[in-house]
C-alpha cells in the first residue's frame, strides 16, 4: 500500500493533476476537484432570490413539480471553470463528480425527489459527434450513483440542430428551442416521475422544450441542473 502511495506521489510530481475549479495541484486521493473547492463551491440556497427565480421560470408548466440547481454560476468564477472543463476540455468526470456531490447532499438533507428515472437533456447528433459525449449524461450518471435512481440518455432526442443560445433574448431562446425535442421511449416515462437534468439553467427554454415534448404522457417532472445563472 505504501509503495502505491509513493508511486502516486511520484507521478504527481512528474505530471501534476490540477483542480478543474481553481487550478491548484491535487494531492493524495483528491480527484478532479480539490477538497477546498468541494467545500467552498457556491451552493444555491433554496431560500435565495436566485432559487425563487429558478422555480418561477416553470410556473406556467404544470408538469414541473420543482426546479432546482446545485451551484450559482458567475462569470470568471469557479463554477464557470468547472463547466468549461466539462464542456470544452473533454473532462466528463467533472459532471459525474458534481452529480455525485449533489446527490449525496440531497440524500443527507432528505430532499431527493421520489423519482423513477433521471433523464438527461440530449445533444443533437452533430454536436455529440463534435464533443464526443453529452455533458448532461455525466451529471445524470453521478446523480444516479449517489441516489440509486436509474438514469437514461436515450429517452429524448433532438430533431433539429440549433445554434448556441448565447446572446439571444428570452423570447428568441424559446423560439429557437420550439419543437426541438422528441420522446423516443414513451413507454419508459409514461405516468412516471422524472428528474430532468441539464448543465446550466438560464431562461429555462431548453428544459421547457423537453417538458413540452413529454406532454400528454402524464409525467411529473423535477428539474435539476448543475448551475443556475444570475440573470
State the CATH number of the domain containing residue 222.
3.40.50
* Same domain flag for 45 and 28: no
Give the count of domains, the chain. 2
Tell me how far apart the alpha carbons of residues 77 and 73 are, in angstroms, rounded to a whole number. Answer: 7
**For residue 146, how many other CB atoms are within 10 A of its CB?**
18
Angle at 227 between CA 85 and CA 138, to 5 degrees: 50
81 CB neighbour count, 10 Å cutoff: 18
What pairs with residue 156 in β-bridges?
183
Q: pTM here?
A: 0.89
Domain range enclosing 32? 1-40
Backbone φ, ψ for residue 108 (5° rounding) = -65, -35
User: What are 130's three cell numbers?
Assistant: 463534435
Residues 114 and 104 in one domain: yes
Q: What is the pLDDT along the chain (231 residues), one digit of tens a residue?
A: 444 544 455 455 555 799 999 999 999 899 999 999 999 999 999 899 999 999 999 999 999 999 999 999 999 999 999 999 999 999 999 999 999 999 999 999 999 999 999 999 999 999 999 999 999 999 999 999 999 999 999 999 998 887 665 555 556 656 667 779 999 999 999 999 999 999 999 989 899 999 999 999 999 999 999 999 875
Amino acid at each position: 500500500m505504501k509503495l502505491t502511495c509513493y508511486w502516486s506521489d511520484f507521478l504527481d510530481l512528474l505530471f501534476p493533476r490540477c483542480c478543474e475549479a481553481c487550478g491548484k495541484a491535487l494531492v493524495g486521493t483528491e480527484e478532479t476537484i480539490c477538497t477546498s473547492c468541494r467545500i467552498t463551491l457556491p451552493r444555491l440556497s433554496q431560500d435565495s432570490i436566485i432559487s425563487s427565480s429558478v422555480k418561477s421560470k416553470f410556473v406556467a408548466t404544470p408538469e414541473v413539480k420543482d426546479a432546482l440547481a446545485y451551484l450559482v454560476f458567475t462569470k470568471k468564477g469557479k463554477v464557470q471553470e468547472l463547466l468549461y472543463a466539462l464542456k470544452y476540455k473533454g473532462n466528463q468526470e467533472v459532471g459525474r463528480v458534481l452529480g455525485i456531490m449533489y446527490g449525496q447532499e440531497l440524500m443527507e438533507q432528505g430532499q431527493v425527489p421520489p423519482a423513477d428515472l433521471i433523464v438527461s437533456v440530449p445533444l443533437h447528433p452533430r454536436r455529440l459527434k463534435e464533443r464526443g459525449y453529452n455533458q448532461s449524461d455525466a451529471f445524470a450518471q453521478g446523480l444516479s450513483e449517489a441516489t440509486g435512481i436509474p438514469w437514461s440518455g436515450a429517452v429524448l432526442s433532438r430533431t433539429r440542430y440549433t445554434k448556441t443560445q448565447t446572446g439571444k433574448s428570452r423570447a428568441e431562446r424559446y423560439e429557437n428551442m420550439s419543437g426541438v425535442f422528441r420522446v423516443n421511449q414513451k413507454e419508459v416515462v409514461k405516468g412516471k416521475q422524472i428528474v430532468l437534468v441539464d448543465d446550466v439553467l438560464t431562461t429555462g427554454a431548453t428544459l421547457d422544450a423537453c417538458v413540452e415534448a413529454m406532454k400528454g404522457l402524464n409525467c411529473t417532472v423535477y428539474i435539476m441542473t448543475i448551475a443556475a445563472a444570475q440573470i
